[in-house]
Amino acid sequence: MTPFGRRVRELREERGITLAEMAGVLGVTPAYLSALEHGKRGRPTFTLIQGVIHVLGVIWDEADELVRLADLSHPRVTVDTAGLDPEATLLANRLSREIGLLDPEDLTRLCTVLDEAAARRGRAGDVP
């Protein structure tokens, strides 16, 4: 499941909207919406994101959060390490190979390291 898919499902269930109901309003099939929630489809289009925001009735911060999460929710990521330190290439390849072996605590620790590095450079992290 992607961060976007998890949040959409949470909001949909909080509001008592079924998958079929939401899919009908959005003009997509329930199978497509389920695949999107489970990370079996690519990043949603801007139009679909706006439709989800409308159907769920979210505003301001929650809407911004959904847009941000959608941007961070592509289930197949490409990492370009050309021109970077060899350690960056090593890390990207190891992460690609071993991410499925990490438990949620490991993933949280890795995200914390990235957040700390971003903070040292004076920009906010992209934590879902």
Q: What is the pLDDT of residues 24-55, one digit of tens each?
A: 999 999 999 999 989 888 889 999 999 999 99
pLDDT for 119: 92
For helices 30-37 and 19-26, the axis angle rounded to 10 degrees is 110
Cα–Cα dist 13/10, whole Å: 5
Q: Which CATH architecture has domain 3-71?
A: Orthogonal Bundle (1.10)
For the chain, the domains span 3-71, 86-120
Cα–Cα dist 44/72, whole Å: 11
Q: What are the CA-CA distances from residue 48 to residues 26, 32, 53 (Å)?
A: 7, 12, 9
Instruction: Note whether 127 and 69 are within 8 A (CB).
Output: no
Cα–Cα dist 82/56, whole Å: 41
Place 97 in a pLDDT band, splitting at 50, 70 and 90.
very high
Cα–Cα dist 38/8, whole Å: 10
pLDDT for 75: 77
How many helices and strands (H and E) does the chain possess? 7, 0
- Average pLDDT of every residue of the chain: 91
